[in-house]
């Protein structure tokens, strides 16, 4: 059998389906348009040192502090610190004057306009301590001069004692002193009194009753001396001449 040869053809062999071109695909040049028939270029792996890295998130910066709140205090005047200091000094002086005027007005009301409290058994003392203490001291001094006497200058001591009394009580005292004068001078008596304690019993703004504790020493003809403790309730009243004795009661 004679073999017949197939005429050669100039057509290139057709690629087998599923086969890959052994040659590398040309890369696409930037700026060159893709023409029909060009094959897609497969991406090539980048070198290890050129691998993309995960971007580092930005560090959050601290929020700026809010500006300080506006103060309600008024700004100092344009004159500067010296002007502000002068204003404060003036304000202090004004306040001090207002306070002093208020105190003076309150004291004037207390002394002149308020009603006088009434002395009672539940409230026997209605004055301040300073007021009634001066009255008690006046009662103590007056009692020493009224009770103490001597036959040597009897009349002079009576006159001195009367100057510490009100007119009504002075009249009664003179009458009593005159009644015992002869006997007192004849016996050559001398009487000395010592006030050992004193306190207030009742007190108002114009009258005070003081309780005095007395030690009395009586000497007769310069020989015999007797000692007698007793108490005296001395009433003094406020007058233009000061505190004067209006009554004495011995106990």
Q: What does the pLDDT average to over 5-23?
A: 48
The pLDDT mean for the chain works out to 75
- Model confidence at 61, pLDDT cuts 50, 70, 90, reads low
> What phi and psi values does residue 230 have, to the nearest 5 degrees?
-160, 175
Closest among 134, 158, 132, 154 to 145, alpha carbons compared: 158
| Lowest model confidence (mean pLDDT) among 9-23, 55-69, 157-171, 214-228 | 9-23
Quote the pLDDT of residue 179: 95
Catalogue the long-range contacts made by 158-163 (C-beta closer than 8 Å, 24 or more residues apart): none
DSSP-derived letter for residue 179 is: H
Quote the pLDDT of residue 135: 93
Tell me the pLDDT tens digit for each residue of 96-130: 787 777 766 666 655 555 555 666 667 777 777 87
Tell me the pLDDT tens digit for each residue of 218-230: 999 888 889 999 9
Quote the pLDDT of residue 200: 92
pTM of the entire predicted model: 0.53
**Of residues 175 and 26, more confidently modeled:** 175
Tell me the pLDDT tens digit for each residue of 15-58: 444 444 444 455 544 444 454 455 545 555 445 444 555 555 55
Residue 58, C-beta contacts closer than 8 angstroms, at least 6 positions apart: none
Cα separation, 196 vs 213, whole angstroms: 6
Cα separation, 86 vs 192, whole angstroms: 68
């Amino acid at each position: 059998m004679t073999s017949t040869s197939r005429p050669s053809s100039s057509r290139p062999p057709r690629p087998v389906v599923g086969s890959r071109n052994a040659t590398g695909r040309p890369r696409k040049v930037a700026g060159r348009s893709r023409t029909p028939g060009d094959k897609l270029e497969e991406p090539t792996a980048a070198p290890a040192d050129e691998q993309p890295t995960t971007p580092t998130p930005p560090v959050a910066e601290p929020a700026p502090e809010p500006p300080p709140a506006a103060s309600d205090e008024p700004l100092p005047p344009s004159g500067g610190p010296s002007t502000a200091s002068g204003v404060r000094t003036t304000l202090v002086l004004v306040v001090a004057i207002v306070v002093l005027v208020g105190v003076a007005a309150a004291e004037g009301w207390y002394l002149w306009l308020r009603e006088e409290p009434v002395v009672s058994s539940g409230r026997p003392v209605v004055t301040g301590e300073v007021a009634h203490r001066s009255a008690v001291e006046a009662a103590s001094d007056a009692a020493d001069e009224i009770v103490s006497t001597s036959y040597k200058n009897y009349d002079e001591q009576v006159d001195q004692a009367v100057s510490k009394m009100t007119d009504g009580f002075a009249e009664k005292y003179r009458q009593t002193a005159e009644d015992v004068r002869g006997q007192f001078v004849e016996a050559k008596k001398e009487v000395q009194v010592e006030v050992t304690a004193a306190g207030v019993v009742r007190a108002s703004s114009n009258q005070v009753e003081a309780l005095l504790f007395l030690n009395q020493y009586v000497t007769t003809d310069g020989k015999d001396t007797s000692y007698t403790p007793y108490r005296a309730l001395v009433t003094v009243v406020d007058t233009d001449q000061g505190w004067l004795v209006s009554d004495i009661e011995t106990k």
